[in-house]
Structure 1
Amino acid sequence: MLPFVMSETFPLKQGYEARVKILLPPDQPSRSSSRSIPVLVKVYAGPGPQMASDEFTIGYEEFLVTSRNFAVVSIDGRGSNGRGWKYRSAIYGALGTVEIDDQIEAIRQVIKKYPFLDARRLSVFGWSYGGFAAALMAERAPEAFFKCAISVAPVANFQYYDATYSERYMGNADKAAYDASDITTNVSNFRKTHLLLVHGMYDDNVHFQHSALLIEALQQNDIDFDVMIYPNQDHAIVPRNHLYHKMTSFLDRCAKH
């Protein structure tokens, strides 16, 4: 059976709206259900793809919903595509700011509206810009707001990323603007949010240097975390079955209890 799909909008600050897509187990479409289920936020949040679209997909998220009884929530706020320049331009010169705030605010509202979504078992997962966003969401939310976080191939600081991309979206921003979204400077929340960090060592898009910087910051702060490194794998991480098995076992251990 396929997931039960809901699409909604939620108000954000300054007149913006978040588009939200919620995947639910097929046997739990009722808003009044007494059975609480764990929640995974699938985040990208950067310029590019829309996450809360009507596109039909069968992938890892659908597996989690139908086989592991998770709810999966995808959110498009400021910075997202397909909604005009007002939304796209909101993060110009300020990557890692309002788009992160919108993700946190939207999931707060979703959980408040649907009590069967268990706020005590809330996780976040993202890849590439989404890995960057997942780490920042865990760092910026209140302590233990997210029980678990999975960050795959995250950008640690856009100063160290592809200049063609960084300068396109950061413009003439100074060093302070780059440092404001550095995921290595405020890692204390990972004492209460269990992190799985994943990266391919041959990644020629987001170089392994980015995860190495985050690993160093976590170790210097004596924070326990999980890490899975893939030698000779690039940004795509081809042995996807192994990665998905690792992510599933991590979520089963971290988020379901």
Structure 2
Amino acid sequence: ANKPRKYVQKCSSPIKVPEVTLRNIDTHKVVTVIEDNSHLELLLQNKTLPKRWDLTEPISDDKRFSAPVSLLLPMDFDKNKKYPTLVYVYGGPGSQEINYAWKSPAWPEYLVTSRKIIYMIIDGRGTGFQSVDYQFANYHALGTLEIKDQIEITQSIQKKFQFIDEERTGIWGWSYGGYVTLQSLIQDKNDVFSCGISVAPPTDWLFYDSVYTERFMGLPSMTGNKAGYVRASVLNSVEALRN
């Protein structure tokens, strides 16, 4: 077979729009620019966008790990002010919300720039692209460590940075993030979160599709992980949402 002579490279960053080029496989020089998104770059030139600040926060009960945390801050951010803070979570097994690729401005950027809030994301245990042990920390135990991390890391950030308004910190998520939101409100004994928005959450893994659930929870049988399913159900703890 003939040796390939060219390859396609896609590059982006949080502050650089995606660029797709065709390159020579030997010299790596650009043969042609397939897409440089210059029109998008031009559209964004006069737009106010948030500042992004990435950090890591130690996991309190396992010194092997630190969780990635990302904050979107208003452009005119003042560390001496207190800002309402909204934590966004997905948190599903093997997922990743914090990376260094381009994301087109959307609702988070609107909230930060127009409503002057801080938007925070935490990739806690159970998420991917950290290590195998990190990703499988809550294997057969959904609704445990990934919830603990959202609560405890948010509380740690509140205490560490005075510009986070402890009285006005909320959490929201969709799908698995909706589940994490509900469980965070249920398990939040210190009122770290003032409120939450849960969109389309699975509330009991017994009723979710087996192709997804059994990969992470095993079988809901007496010889399997029935106790894990019972523990993970939001329906068994719904009274805790009343406060």
Superposition TM-score tier, normalisation by shorter sequence: 0.7 to 0.9
Structure 1 segments of 4+ aligned residues over 4 angstroms from their partners = none
- 1:100 is paired with a residue of what secondary structure? helix
Deviation, 1:34, is 2.4
Q: Over aligned residues, Cα RMSD in angstroms? A: 1.4
TM-score (norm 1): 0.70
Q: Which residue of 1 aligns with 2:100?
A: 54
For 1:88 and 1:144, the matched residues in 2 are separated by 27
Q: Which has the higher helix share?
A: 1
Correspondence list, 1:10-159, <5 A: 10-12=57-59, 13-14=61-62, 15-28=64-77, 30=78, 33-57=79-103, 58-142=105-189, 144-159=191-206
**Where does structure 1 lack aligned partners over 5 or more consecutive residues?**
193-257
Counterpart of 2:228 (choices 177, 193, 210) is: 177
Count of paired positions: 189
- 2:213 is paired with a residue of what secondary structure? helix
TM-score (norm 2): 0.74
Q: Which residue of 2 aligns with 1:241?
A: none
Distance 1:46 1:145, change over 3 A: same
Q: Which residue of 2 aligns with 1:186?
A: 237
Correspondence list, 1:158-173, <5 A: 158-172=205-219, 173=224
- 1:74 is paired with a residue of what secondary structure? strand
Q: Which amino acid aligns with 1:24?
A: L
- 1:190 is paired with a residue of what secondary structure? helix
**Where does structure 2 lack aligned partners over 5 or more consecutive residues?**
1-47
Q: Which has the higher strand share?
A: 2
Q: Which amino acid aligns with 2:226?
A: K
- 2:236 is paired with a residue of what secondary structure? coil
For 1:113 and 1:87, the matched residues in 2 are separated by 24
Identity %: 39
Moved more, 124-133 or 79-88: 79-88
Moved more, 77-86 or 52-61: 52-61
